Chains A and B, each alone.
Chain A
Amino acid sequence: MSEKYLPLMATIAVFVILFIAGGLLYPNFFSTLVLGNILGDNAFIIIAAIGTTFVIISGGIDLSIGSMIGFVGVVMANLDSAGWHPLASAALMIVFGAGYGTLVGFIIDFCEIQPFIITLAGLFLLRGMCFMINLDAVPIKNPFVLEFSDMGIPLFGGGWLSSSAIVMLVALVVAVIIAHWTEFGSAVYAIGGDAQSAKLMGVPMRKTTLKIYALSGTYSALGGVVYALYTSSGYPLAGSGLELVAIASVVLGGTLLTGGVGFVAGTVFGGMILGLIATLINFNGSLNGAWIMISGGLLLFIFIVMHRFLVGSLKFRAGS
């Protein structure tokens, strides 16, 4: 069974190696401040990616994450202007995310539409709604936002585990429990491994599909809430392209795009690797921003080839 953990181990190893390399290359890199920043600055995208992990393990895809993050921010900023407390609007948006996801899951299952297409429609729809509401950035002025950013746990060595990072870690624990200790979690892996067998084995297909996308919608809305509080504003262009970063985090984390195999914890490290690359390039300070994407792309490529090799040689994939 330990082969199952190989991709996850590889992901963690890459993170550790990159972090040590950064420490060797740049002064002030080896610090809890940098580590805390990587967790806090990428928390919103990792939260959304955790939700996507379930979708991808089930063999589906969700492309509406980035637009959801932007939409949540814009609505929260406008509700703030209307006098709502950020926590109230956050709760509303998380309920909206769950409802939106349930609807997407229902359309996928009932109308037998490819998740790619329906979530692509969601991407355009939600982004369009952002522009309908606002064209400019709207600040969230409630003092709670600054209080939220001041919350957190100081780490030894001058670092800081910010409230965004704490929300992310709680979201991770909940997701790990859902994935590995619930019937629903097993059903997700079963559908992703082999949908036909899962059906024959009596896995409730519709209920599970609905729940998978509801979960993804909830997590991407939560990611949007964290992003809105993190930037203390709603900006209609926020989060564009982040769905692909989320998918990249999931894949770097060792989840197979074909479904059936993957770990939520891997996604966290996948997202942190991407954040670490951005930090390394910022520390270097003479490389073009394009290098963030180039090195992310290269790593992604290497990982996919490596997974392919692992799957082919070790045959640990369920049902194959």
Chain B
Amino acid sequence: MKFAHWLTGTVFGASMLLAGAPAHAVTIGFSQVGDEGDWRPAFSKDMQDEAKKEGIDLKFADAQGKEEEQLKAVRAFIAQKVDAIIIAPVVVTGWEQVLREAKRAGIPVFLADRDVDVTDKSLTVTRISADFNLEGRLAGAWLAQASKGQCNVVELQGTVGAAPAIERKKGFEAITSQFPEIKIVKSQSGDFTTEGGKKVMEAFIKSTDNLKGICGVFAHNDNMQLGAIQAMKEAGLNPGKDFLLVSVDYVPAMKDELAKGEASASVELRSAIGKYIYPVVLNYLKDKKELPRWIKIPSDLHHAAAPND
């Protein structure tokens, strides 16, 4: 083991000389879930780009959707003595052990995206993520304004029990309940998928006699809304012209629909969020000031070029 110590010392010295990099650069480990869908790879890329801009030495680990890989990555960060760890958790459970190891090593942990289920809340500094509830409220507020407070709405819910579905619904209803003439007349789950949204909309079209008396469609995500637009067009209806369509995510396909005027509005779930996350982490490393449990990333709403009325 003497040899190892000697080698460690030499290697460390040599690497310092060779690298010549500023030794004071902040090193942050970021453990990402994986690269599924459109949103997550964009999020990963933004984190890497923003780290470069901020001069952060980012250690990025892709867990490939596996909890055990994520635990390995966080332990590797701890062994590397990084200055801070950011985790976008694969699952909410199973974090207590490794977070305690990070705490023992004196490394602050920040959460992005999902929350974790731990009994000791002091194990993480804060969570920096979008607020699903606010997204729902923005969608509701836009619809209330566009319909001047008079609208029968059909709702395409996300996967039953999923946090974004629950919170977006709550937020939407919190606003629309202020307007007695806005009513959600039908509500069903389309599982966040395009096919799901299409099927649910087909059923709505049948059960309401071609959406008679309906003025608005609220979908918990863009994919379902895209399916609903297909179903409406197949039934000979004019989405975006005769109906107000509002959803959440602002994916590229929805941008096209908004440009064509076949959808009305979409609340953006930002993927370029490195600029919200890093300053929080860097400031905390400087002043160690206690932060609120949850720092919300603001949402934005995009609507069609010429909103109909």
Say which size band chain B's interface belongs to.
35 or more
Name B120's closest neighbour in chain A (CB-CB): A146
In the complex, are the beta carbons of B76 and A37 less than 8 A apart?
Answer: yes
Is A233's CB under 8 angstroms from B91's CB? Answer: yes
Q: Is B94 an interface residue (CB 8 A)?
A: yes
Verify B94–A231 contact, CB threshold 8 A.
yes
Q: Are A41 and B75 in contact (CB under 8 A)?
A: yes
CA distance A69 to B151 in the complex (A): 51
The A-contacting residues of B in range 58-85, CB under 8 angstroms, are 58-64, 67-69, 71-73, 75-81
Find out whether the CB atom of B97 lies under 8 angstroms from the CB atom of A283: no
The answer to whether the Cβ of B11 comes within 8 Å of any Cβ in the partner chain is yes
Q: Chain B's nearest CB lies how many Å from the CB of A29?
A: 8
Q: Does B7 contact A (CB under 8 A)?
A: yes
Q: Do B62 and A288 touch across chains, with their CB atoms under 8 A apart? A: yes
Cross-interface CB contact of A41 among B5, B8, B72, B161, cutoff 8 Å: B72
A83 interfacial contact with B, CB 8 Å:
no
Among candidates A24, A137, A231, residue contacting B11 with C-beta atoms closer than 8 Å: A24
B20-60: which residues lie under 8 A (CB-CB) from chain A?
29, 34, 57-60
Whether, in the assembled complex, B300 has its beta carbon less than 8 Å from a beta carbon of chain A, the answer is no
B161-209 interface with A by 8 A CB criterion = 161
Query: Which residue of chain B has its CB nearest to the CB of A227?
Result: B68
Is the C-beta of B96 less than 8 angstroms from some C-beta in chain A? yes
**B117 at interface by CB-CB < 8 Å:** yes
Q: Quick check: A139 and B79 within 8 Å, CB to CB?
A: no
Chain A min CB distance to B3 (Å)? 10
* Chain A proximity mask over B2-13: 1 for CB below 8 Å, otherwise 0: 001101100110
A205 within 8 Å of B (CB atoms)? no
The answer to whether B67 and A238 have CB atoms under 8 Å apart is yes
CB <8 Å contact, B93 and A232: yes
User: How far does the Cβ of A44 sit from chain B's closest Cβ, in whole Å?
Assistant: 8
Q: Contact at A37–B92, with CB atoms within 8 Å?
A: no
Contacts of B62 in A (CB 8 A): 288-290
Which of A20, A34, A41, A137 is close to B71, meaning CB atoms less than 8 Å apart? A41
For B4, the closest partner residue in chain A by CB is: A30
A202 at the interface (CB under 8 A from B): no
User: Which residue, of A136, A146, A231, has the highest number of chain B Cβ atoms within 10 A?
Assistant: A231
Kindly state the separation between the CA atoms of A281 and B71 in the bound complex, as whole angstroms. Answer: 14
Which residues of A have CB within 8 Å of B11?
A: 23-24, 27, 30
Number of residues of chain A lying within 8 A (CB) of chain B: 44
Q: Which of B4, B15, B76, B93 contacts A283 (CB 8 A)?
A: B76
Considering the chains assembled together, what is the distance between the CA atoms of A30 and B15 in angstroms? 14
The verdict on A30 contacting B7 (CB below 8 Å), with A282-B59, A289-B69 known, is: yes
Instruction: Report the minimal beta-carbon distance from A282 to chain B, rounded to whole angstroms.
Output: 4
- Give residues of chain A (278-309) contacting chain B, Cβ–Cβ below 8 Å: 278-279, 281-286, 288-290, 292
- B1 beta carbon closer than 8 Å to chain A: yes
Most chain B Cβ neighbours within 10 Å, of A149, A233, A289: A289
How would residues 32 to 58 of chain A score, 1 for a CB under 8 Å from any chain B CB and 0 otherwise?
011001000110110000000000000
Query: Which of the listed residues B5, B60, B81 has the most CB atoms from chain A within 10 Å of its own CB?
Result: B60
Q: Is A263 positioned at the interface, with any CB of B under 8 Å from its CB?
A: no
> From A37, which residue of chain B is reached at the shortest CB distance?
B75
A34 neighbours in B (Cβ, 8 Å): 76, 79
Given A233-B91, A279-B76, A289-B64: A139 touches B8 (CB 8 Å cut-off): no
CB-based contact A233/B59 at 8 Å = no
- Residues in B lying within 8 Å of A, measured CB to CB: 1, 4-5, 7-8, 11-12, 15, 29, 34, 57-64, 67-69, 71-73, 75-81, 91-94, 96-97, 117, 161
What are 29 inter-chain pairs, A to B, with CB distance below 8 A? A20-B7, A24-B11, A27-B12, A27-B15, A28-B80, A29-B79, A34-B76, A37-B72, A41-B71, A41-B72, A41-B75, A44-B68, A137-B92, A139-B93, A227-B68, A231-B94, A235-B94, A238-B67, A238-B68, A279-B72, A282-B61, A282-B76, A283-B59, A284-B59, A285-B57, A286-B58, A286-B59, A289-B69, A292-B69
